[in-house]
Structure 1
Amino acid sequence: MANVQKTSRNGQAPLTKDMILSAAVGIVDEQGLQALTIRKVADALGVYPTAITWHIGSKDQLVADASGLIFETLQLPGDKAHDWRDWLRLTAASFRESMHKHPNFAVVIGNQLHTSLPALPFVERVLRILNDNGLQGAGLLKAYNAYVGCLIGWVSLELSSSGATPPDAEGQLGVLNNLDQRLYTALSRNLPVVANKAFMVRWDSGTSNPMDDSFEFMLDSVLAGIADSIKQLAPQG
């Protein structure tokens, strides 16, 4: 039975897990995460759905494995080629760029709790960079979580979307313009600055309205905090 599932493609090359994941990513990129099903991937590859489940298992596993490709294709800089700050900055930019190419996976990347094997090289390298620069134990854990949490959480939030029906921009702006200025003094005063540019008061996703300056500010703040931790551990001369 296993051999049948692996080779039954009407004379075409044997079905592989990589082919399945590539097809799944294509479906999510074009139609959204809600469109991804075992049957749709099977139809795209010209096989029976059982062939997909033989290689992958459940739909949840299909989603998890497909999202893992983002880390698998992530280009990480060389450990020795850059200062640790530059390494973390370049890695953050590379991750954000990859996510912008596959924005429909943002909700998955930001909510995964299980260990993803394709993500482990990323985990290893970030830990190594921090470790090699003096952080260990609780300090290492806090710095790692601050960097990875802010990076993945921030990009996931930037690329969040309202789904298939885009929000009515005029209506969204109308809600903000009609706020009681006595209750929302800061929001009303700064509305031209934050409208459609700040989290929770925007209606365009980062795919069409990227938040570049805010991302750089977030990254600067996190790296400054890590630098302070490293400085505190340095020998006092």
Structure 2
Amino acid sequence: MSVVPGVARKAPPRRAPEGAGLSRDKIVAASMKLIDEQGLEAFSLRAVAKALGVYPTALYWHVPSRNELVVEIITDVLAEMMPPRELAWEPWLRELLQRYRSIIRRHPNVAPLIGVQLVSNASVDLTLLETTLEKLHEAGFEGERLVAAYNAVFGTLVGFVTQEFAMVLTDDVDSWTARMGDLVARIDPQTHPMLAAHKELMLNRSFILRWQNGAAAPLDAGFEFYCELLVAGLKGLAAAGGDGSTRQMLT
């Protein structure tokens, strides 16, 4: 083909690079949507890439691995977890527990990521840990007792909520529900009198005897009791003093 003198040829249009416009925030948002709507079983880098309309390799510029993406997801989920630092230790602790549960209630499928995978530790805000120690020191704990109280707080924080929002069945739900109903119906008041007397209160509203998690059947009263138990226990142990051993703290 001849070229007209003095007329420049137009360069062919350039294709946008794979993943153009992609960002860390878009990847995390797509991941959260996938986990919220389809559960953890559906979560993978390949699935996230498909949801974003790109190849999985495009994600690696922003999140180099699935573990890194998990850290980013949890960082976003827990971004507003810490209560105001000016609160005294008791209301601060209650607020911390309530905030965490409220967050997981909005994203129940994230609970197992936090509760059972150590990789989630990399997402924690160090200021939250520092403030927790400050509040427990304010309560009266020092040294090894301070560390023991700190572990008790985070064990409480994650433990109840992880179990409350445990993963639910996504298939054969009717059969599972019927099986649990049959289990409760077979409670014999002669051999299990306390269970028989309280089964109507406990059915699908207590650990073990349920077929839905906290997203559909929240355990509000149990969680409130759990929070008060922790606060009262810390208060009593702080007043009791001791050198840090478990035996001395409890006697």
TM-score greater than 0.5 by the shorter chain = yes
3-state SS of the aligned residue for 1:191? helix
- Corresponding position: 1:131 with 2:137: yes
Q: CA deviation at 1:70?
A: 1.8
Q: CA deviation at 1:24?
A: 0.7
Q: CA deviation at 1:74?
A: 2.0
Q: Work out which of the residue numbers 61, 66, 83 in structure 2 matches 1:77.
A: 83
- Corresponding position: 1:107 with 2:112: yes
* 2:94 partner amino acid: R
- After superposition, give the CA deviation of every residue in 1:30-60 in whole Å (9 maximum; x if it has no partner): 1111111212211222322112134323324
Q: CA deviation at 1:119?
A: 4.0
**Matched residue, 2:200:** 192
**Matched residue, 2:248:** none
- Corresponding position: 1:96 with 2:118: no
Q: CA deviation at 1:109?
A: 1.0
- Gaps of at least 5 residues in structure 2 are 1-15, 243-251
Q: CA deviation at 1:105?
A: 0.7
Q: Work out which of the residue numbers 69, 85, 101 in structure 2 matches 1:62.
A: 69
Measure, in 2, the Cα distance between the counterparts of 1:179 and 1:64: 44
Q: CA deviation at 1:208?
A: 0.9
Q: CA deviation at 1:159?
A: 0.8
- Gaps of at least 5 residues in structure 1 are 1-6
Q: CA deviation at 1:155?
A: 0.6
Q: CA deviation at 1:9?
A: 4.7
**Matched residue, 1:215:** 223
Aligned 8 A contact 1:38 1:53 in 2: no
Question: Rg: which structure is higher?
Answer: 2
**Matched residue, 2:17:** 8
Q: Work out which of the residue numbers 146, 157, 163 in structure 1 matches 2:152.
A: 146
**Matched residue, 1:17:** 24
Q: CA deviation at 1:103?
A: 0.3
Q: CA deviation at 1:185?
A: 2.7
Aligned 8 A contact 1:42 1:49 in 2: yes
Higher mean C-alpha displacement, 51-60 vs 150-159: 51-60
TM-score in terms of structure 1 length: 0.85
**Matched residue, 1:3:** none
Give me the identity figure in percent: 31
Measure, in 2, the Cα distance between the counterparts of 1:119 and 1:103: 21
Q: CA deviation at 1:144?
A: 1.3
TM-score in terms of structure 2 length: 0.80
Aligned length: 224
Measure, in 2, the Cα distance between the counterparts of 1:124 and 1:16: 31
Change over 3 Å in CA distance of 1:124–1:9 after alignment to 2: farther
Aligned 8 A contact 2:203 2:210 in 1: yes
